Amino acid sequence: MIKINVKISPILALLVVLGAAGMAEGAATLRVCDCRACGCQYLSIQEAIDMATPGDTVLVRSGSFIGNINVTKPIILKGEKWKGRDLPIINADGNGSCITVSADGVRVESIRVTDSGNESGDAGIRVLSNNATIINNVATGNRGAGIILEGSRNSEVFANVAAENAVGVLLYNSADNLLTNNRLFNNTVLDAFDDGKNRWDDGTVGNYYGSFNCTDEDGDEICDSVYEIPGGSSIDAQTIVG
């Protein structure tokens, strides 16, 4: 039998151990509840965000949260239905935006937002960064817009509801963003506004606008005519029939 002795230097061994520990640790999930007896680590969404590190998930269980949230690092902010209750709701109480996304690479998912302020830039969800993903949220009853992208690029706004706001979805000084499968209706000023050049359909499906009356003669649930987004040159060529 041939014996082979392999010597590993102390430095290499230490690097292996540290690497394994880092892989085991991975991204963390920080849970937020609105009651002390609900078993979460945090009662405050903002505190959980402040304690998170890039790549973490801040998971917010059903409940009502008052105030303004600022997402300052690339994390996932996600709502969760809990014990038969609806998705969590963030209420700005008529002041500022419910959620402001100020870091690149943020995902905001499955959260209800309401009662933003009505100053310029106030919204249910306000995105001031790039590469954001805004998905499956419900923005209603905001005095400003339901969702705003301001100076944003390469972000995706998908499968949200924006209803009964001043404006449903507003894009200002933004470009190269994709918006599909959103339902925008019963907004008092406009369902949509875009002063830049963005994609409001992916070539197959676009969005639903309650203010746009269209025909669908072939019955494919896509409007026969394009919807020109107010504000600039963007169009939705695959508008969804209500």
pLDDT tens, N- to C-terminus, the chain (242 residues): 434 343 444 444 443 333 433 433 589 999 999 887 888 999 999 999 999 999 999 999 999 999 999 999 999 999 999 988 999 999 999 999 999 999 999 999 999 999 999 999 999 999 999 999 999 999 999 999 999 999 999 999 999 999 999 999 999 999 999 999 999 999 999 999 999 999 999 999 999 999 999 999 999 999 999 999 999 999 999 999 98
Domains held by the chain: number: 1
Q: Find where tokens 């209750």 sit.
A: 85
Would you say the C-alpha torsion 205, 206, 211, 216 has a positive or negative sign?
negative
Judge whether 12 lies within some domain. Answer: no
- 65's tokens: 């949260």
pLDDT at 6: 39
Judge whether 16 lies within some domain. Answer: no
CATH number at residue 47: 2.160.20.10
Name the residue among 165, 183, 65 with its Cα closest to residue 115. Answer: 165
Judge whether 40 lies within some domain. Answer: yes
Domain hosting 207: range is: 27-236
State the Cα–Cα distance between residues 207 and 237, nearest whole angstrom.
9
The three-class DSSP label of residue 209 is strand
List beta partners, residue 58. 30, 77
List beta partners, residue 89. 64, 112
Judge whether 13 lies within some domain. Answer: no
State the Cα–Cα distance between residues 66 and 31, nearest whole angstrom.
17
Cβ atoms of 144 and 110 closer than 8 Å: no
**For the whole model, what pTM was predicted?**
0.89
pLDDT at 25: 59
pLDDT at 97: 98
pLDDT at 140: 98
Judge whether 7 lies within some domain. Answer: no
* Angle value at C-alpha 85, between 79 and 109, nearest 5 degrees: 15
Judge whether 1 lies within some domain. Answer: no
Residue 147 burial class via C-beta count within 10 angstroms: exposed 0-12, middle 13-18, buried 19 and up: buried
Judge whether 50 lies within some domain. Answer: yes
State the Cα–Cα distance between residues 178 and 175, nearest whole angstrom.
9
Amino acid identity of residue 45, one-letter, is I
φ, ψ of residue 3 to 5 degrees: the values are -100, 135
